[in-house]
Copies of this chain bind each other. A is one copy, B any other.
Amino acid sequence: MSQPDSSVMNRIVSLCKRRGFVYPASEIYGGLNGFWDFGPLGVQLKNNLRDAWWHAMVECSPTGPDGKPVSIVGLDSCIIQHPQTWVASGHVGGFADLMVDCRETKLRYRADHVVVKEVFFVPKGKQEAVSLGILSALDGDEAPSAFAKKAKKLAQKAGGGEVLPIDLEKADNLTTISPDVRDRVIGPDAETAGTLTEPRPFNLMFHSYVGVFQDEDSKVYLRPETAQGIFLQYKNIVDTSRVRIPFGVAQVGRSFRNEVTPRNFIFRVREFEQMEMEFFCPPEDGMMWYEFWVAERMRWWESVGVKKENLFRHIIAKEDLSHYSRGTSDIEYLYPFTAPNFGELEGVAYRTDYDLTQHQKFSKTNLEYIDQEASRRYIPHVVEPASGLTRGVLVMLCEGYQYDESRASPEWLKIKPSLAPIKAGVFPLVNKDGMPEVAEKLYLDLRKNYTCQYDAKQSIGKRYARMDEAGTPFCITVDGETLKDQNVTIRNRDTAQQERVALDKVSSYIAQKLV
């Protein structure tokens, strides 16, 4: 197996566009940074992953420590909620990035992306080093050359001389230096850069206005997470759904974050989908359920086809936890663009009683749970497995991407059959001699239960290749023999092996393989 010449990630992005998995949003208008649409194959893959999660959470929930299924119900709450929601949750006050502006060019930067350094040179004919000022650059691989370039220009302006080596290992981050030093930092952009303003918070929530007036009273936010919608309806669900603690509430839906720097294809985007579940339990069981859900969620990602070695449990260090969390683990994946490091796919957080307590306080609604059997009232503790559906699709694509030059289509997708956008391709070997009629009949029968595609164009090899690229696990060919013996050829995507199966057994053959 040889490696593709361009980077794996570029190839995946290109395959996604070429085969209709993912397109840039509004592409005919030049696109919109951080927004992507799912095409015909992408939406099927995404729906299948969504349904698999929903099934594993709500319809066929995992077995709990007592050997019985845990109790989880579904919810679908609005993207726009009462603005107090986000005051209580802390998002209005705290969900912000620090930004700085260049006083000359008016360009804006994320403060923690800017590194600074005082740079020196030895003027021509002198012996003593002199400061060129405190320069800055955007953090990353390009930073050393950016510093060197700017220092050289400044040295020339000052009459020429030798710039002293710039040791970036010791470069400061703009957010950590003292204000008086910061005031003298020259912006990271072109030569025309001026000094930078003090860092100011920039909230990541999109806002809008509801109703006919636009003022502070009518200001609302697009949710930055689906989780808060669950806390808002926690009381209604307890009152109307016969659930008893411990139980969970699951939700799939869109969220929005006005990311300053969207990047890495559909990994960090401004509009995305989440699959979140809040699990409510007695305070004393919080740590137990936290460990339960970390293990369960790792298991689930494996069950949808992610190799164990590509998953990593990143336990967030105590000092890095949110003030309300008693434990958080990120389930990380080995993305091509993070390798050899892992990047976030899902977070499992033990959030204690923080959210419900906040909403109780701000809404003045009693959110205590009444345990009648134990004659006890308490605010439940919460464990939250929160994963990205959009990121999940990305993982399916990265994990499934295969490159093998010996195949008709060197690039192909090894997606778990039950999640594949198309389950079966149905082909007449040639488009005559009664074969199309039999193949069409089979197709019409199969598509009642499985997403299928009928294809009679070009050679059978090209049709296999197209299906491989789409990740279709089974290709069914009606040939001359079929008319005599009522058998068809089923070709397996992963092995490229073929077997003969009776026409009337094709449906049950596929059903068996989709478990």
- A166, B117: Cα distance in complex, Å: 82
Q: Choose from B236, B249, B254 the contact partner of A23 (Cβ within 8 Å).
A: B236
Q: Which residue of B lies closest to A37 (CB)?
A: B77
A277 within 8 A of B: no
Residues of B within 8 A of A362 (CB): 29
Partner-contacting stretch, out of A39-47, A285-293, A380-388, A475-483: A39-47
Residues of B within 8 A of A299 (CB): none
- A46, B240: Cα distance in complex, Å: 18
Q: Which residue of B lies closest to A235 (CB)?
A: B28
Partner-contacting stretch, out of A179-187, A201-209, A400-408: A201-209
Residues of B within 8 A of A310 (CB): none
- A373, B285: Cα distance in complex, Å: 68
A270 & B38 in contact (Cβ 8 Å cutoff) = no
- A25, B270: Cα distance in complex, Å: 24
How many A residues face the partner with a CB closer than 8 A?
85
Partner-contacting stretch, out of A81-89, A320-328, A409-417, A487-495: A81-89
Q: Choose from B38, B76, B249, B270 the contact partner of A75 (Cβ within 8 Å).
A: B38
Q: Distance (Å) between the CB of A349 and the closest chain B CB?
A: 22
Residues of B within 8 A of A206 (CB): 208-210
A152 within 8 A of B: no
- Bitwise interface map of A from 354 to 383 toward B, beta carbon under 8 Å scored 1, else 0: 000001001101010000000000000000
Q: Choose from B35, B44, B213, B220 the contact partner of A81 (Cβ within 8 Å).
A: B35
B271 & A80 in contact (Cβ 8 Å cutoff) = yes
B212 & A37 in contact (Cβ 8 Å cutoff) = no
A20 within 8 A of B: yes
Q: Which of A213-246 contact B (CB under 8 A)?
A: 213, 220, 222, 229, 232-233, 235-237, 240-242
Residues of B within 8 A of A210 (CB): 32-34, 206, 258, 270
A75 & B43 in contact (Cβ 8 Å cutoff) = yes
Given A28-B363, A447-B59, A40-B73 contact (CB < 8 Å): yes
Q: Distance (Å) between the CB of A1 and the closest chain B CB?
A: 26
Residues of B within 8 A of A43 (CB): 74-76
Given A270-B80, A447-B60, A233-B75 contact (CB < 8 Å): no
Q: Distance (Å) between the CB of A154 and the closest chain B CB?
A: 28
- A37, B220: Cα distance in complex, Å: 16
A451 within 8 A of B: yes
- A206, B229: Cα distance in complex, Å: 20
- Not counting A29-B232, A40-B241, A202-B212, a sample of 20 additional A-B residue pairs whose C-beta atoms are within 8 angstroms of each other reads A20-B241, A25-B77, A25-B82, A28-B367, A29-B362, A32-B80, A35-B80, A36-B78, A38-B77, A39-B233, A39-B236, A39-B237, A40-B75, A40-B249, A68-B440, A79-B271, A99-B212, A206-B208, A209-B258, A211-B258
Residues of B within 8 A of A220 (CB): 32
A268 within 8 A of B: no
Q: Which residue of B lies closest to A269 (CB)?
A: B78
- A388, B241: Cα distance in complex, Å: 26
Q: Pull 5 A–B residue pairs with CB atoms less than 8 Å apart, ordered by A.
A: A20-B73, A29-B84, A37-B75, A43-B76, A80-B270
Given A59-B447, A270-B210, A31-B241 contact (CB < 8 Å): no
Q: Which of A43-102 contact B (CB under 8 A)?
A: 43-44, 46-47, 54, 58-60, 68-69, 73-82, 84-85, 99
Residues of B within 8 A of A60 (CB): 447-448
- Bitwise interface map of A from 447 to 459 toward B, beta carbon under 8 Å scored 1, else 0: 1100100000100
The 5 A-B pairs at the shortest CB distance, nearest first, are namely A26-B82, A40-B73, A29-B82, A28-B363, A38-B76
A444 & B69 in contact (Cβ 8 Å cutoff) = yes
Q: Distance (Å) between the CB of A363 and the closest chain B CB?
A: 4
A11 within 8 A of B: no
Residues of B within 8 A of A54 (CB): 47
- A46, B37: Cα distance in complex, Å: 23
A27 within 8 A of B: yes
- A254, B208: Cα distance in complex, Å: 16
Residues of B within 8 A of A68 (CB): 440
Residues of B within 8 A of A270 (CB): 80, 210
Residues of B within 8 A of A258 (CB): 209-212
A25 & B447 in contact (Cβ 8 Å cutoff) = no
A500 within 8 A of B: no
- A258, B46: Cα distance in complex, Å: 29
- A285, B213: Cα distance in complex, Å: 45
- A22, B210: Cα distance in complex, Å: 21
- A84, B30: Cα distance in complex, Å: 10
Q: Distance (Å) between the CB of A397 and the closest chain B CB?
A: 15
Q: Distance (Å) between the CB of A411 and the closest chain B CB?
A: 15
Residues of B within 8 A of A202 (CB): 212
